[in-house]
């Protein structure tokens, strides 16, 4: 009896989780649709878009370079060590470039920008929400989605691919250093092998992800901010929830995009 009770509770808990997740996804899509509609008509706030581009870039550039370099070096070391077992260490640059371009750069850059820029967006907007600043905006006949969300969304869509590109370059530079200094490969061989294996398709596959990640990060961050309530505690809670949701969403969407890229190439 008790065990059947346990099973029933378990099933309803799973049911609730599925229902909540679908509901959440639905309201995210509606919010995204609204933001895209707002982006499509004037006023086009170019000044705010540039401000946000600067903010996202300035906020994340250093950690993107540093992380790209570290990940590139670590992956090259790991892969190179395995490749050395069958004498293929000259392929280290190619393996590193392929894994960075298609997977690691967009995902890691997405994580870093979600943690820096995304969290800052939620914190700023939720503070505005709890201090009546969003109400003030509404009262001044300005749509908060048009004023706050649209510039952040456009700036993220433009900046994410750029930062992913920088991540790729930093990672590949680190790989080159590892290849030359640890695996004794000359620069010519390194680039020759890399160019024979890695194509623009790989870079494009990663950039496709970064566009979509830009939308996910900015829209989720802003949505959590606009839904915040309850003073300083509400700001903290909104920011934490936003970051956790952004990371989970990036991982899930990354898998889905990768699946489609591989299956329907």
Give, for 108, the enclosing helix (H) or strand (E): helix 105-113
Interatomic CA distance for residues 110 and 163, integer angstroms: 9
Of 139, 263, 264, 265, the one binding another protein (CB under 8 A) is 139
Q: Choose the binding region for another protein from 103-111, 138-146, 162-170, 183-191 (rule: CB under 8 A).
A: 138-146
Of 10, 15, 26, 43, the one binding another protein (CB under 8 A) is 43
* Residue 59 found at the interface with another protein (CB under 8 A): no
Query: CB 32 → another protein: shortest distance, Å?
Result: 18
* Residue 229 found at the interface with another protein (CB under 8 A): no
* Residue 231 found at the interface with another protein (CB under 8 A): no
What string of DSSP letters covers 36-83?
HHHHHSS---HHHHHHHHHHHHHHHHHHHHHHHHHHHHHHHHHHHHHH
* Residue 135 found at the interface with another protein (CB under 8 A): yes
Of 70, 133, 227, 258, the one binding another protein (CB under 8 A) is 133
Of 24, 138, 230, 251, the one binding another protein (CB under 8 A) is 138
Give whichever of 23 and 231 is closer to another protein, judged by the CB atom: 231
* Residue 122 found at the interface with another protein (CB under 8 A): no
* Residue 20 found at the interface with another protein (CB under 8 A): no
Sign for the CA dihedral angle at 169, 171, 176, 177 comes to positive
* Residue 143 found at the interface with another protein (CB under 8 A): yes
Q: Choose the binding region for another protein from 131-139, 156-164, 191-199, 218-226 (rule: CB under 8 A).
A: 131-139
Give, for 149, the enclosing helix (H) or strand (E): none
Give whichever of 85 and 141 is closer to another protein, judged by the CB atom: 141
Of 1, 40, 85, 140, the one binding another protein (CB under 8 A) is 140
C-alpha separations of 158 from 56, 133, 164, 170, 236 in Å:
10, 27, 11, 19, 28
The C-alpha angle with vertex 171 and arms to 167 and 172, in degrees rounded to 5, equals 120
* Residue 39 found at the interface with another protein (CB under 8 A): no
Give whichever of 42 and 188 is closer to another protein, judged by the CB atom: 42
Tell me, by CB under 8 A, how many residues bind another protein. 16
Asked if the peptide bond before residue 120 counts as cis, ω within 30 degrees of 0, the response is no
Taking a C-beta distance cutoff of 8 angstroms, is the pair 60, 108 a contact? Answer: no
In b/e form, how buried is each residue of 79-103, taking b as 16+ CB within 10 angstroms? bbeebeeeeebbbbbbbbbbbbbbb
Q: Which residues bind another protein (CB under 8 A)?
A: 43, 124, 127-128, 131-133, 135-136, 138-143, 147
């Amino acid at each position: 009896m008790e065990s059947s009770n346990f099973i029933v509770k378990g099933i309803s808990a799973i049911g609730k989780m599925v229902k909540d997740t679908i509901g959440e996804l639905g309201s995210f899509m509606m919010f995204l649709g609204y933001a895209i509609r707002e982006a499509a008509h004037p006023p086009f706030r170019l000044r705010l878009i540039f401000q946000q581009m600067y903010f996202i870039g300035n906020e994340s550039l250093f950690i993107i370079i540093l992380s790209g370099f570290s990940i590139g070096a670590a992956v090259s070391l790991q892969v190179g060590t395995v490749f050395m077992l069958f004498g293929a260490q000259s392929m280290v640059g190619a393996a590193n470039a392929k894994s960075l371009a298609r997977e690691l750069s967009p995902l890691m850059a997405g994580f870093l920008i979600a943690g820096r820029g995304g969290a800052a967006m939620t914190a700023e907007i939720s503070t505005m929400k709890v201090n009546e600043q969003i109400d003030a905006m509404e009262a001044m006949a300005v749509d908060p989605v048009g004023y706050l969300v649209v510039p952040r969304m456009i700036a993220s869509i433009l900046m994410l691919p750029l930062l992913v590109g920088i991540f790729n370059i930093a990672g590949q530079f680190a790989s080159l250093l590892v290849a030359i200094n640890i695996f004794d490969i000359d620069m010519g061989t390194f680039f020759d092998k890399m160019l024979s294996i890695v194509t623009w398709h790989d870079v494009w596959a990663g950039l496709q992800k970064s566009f979509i990640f830009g939308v996910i990060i900015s829209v989720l961050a802003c949505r959590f901010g606009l839904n915040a309530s309850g003073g300083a505690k509400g700001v903290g809670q909104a920011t934490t929830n936003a970051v956790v949701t952004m990371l989970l969403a990036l991982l899930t969407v990354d898998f889905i995009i990768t699946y489609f890229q591989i299956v329907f190439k």
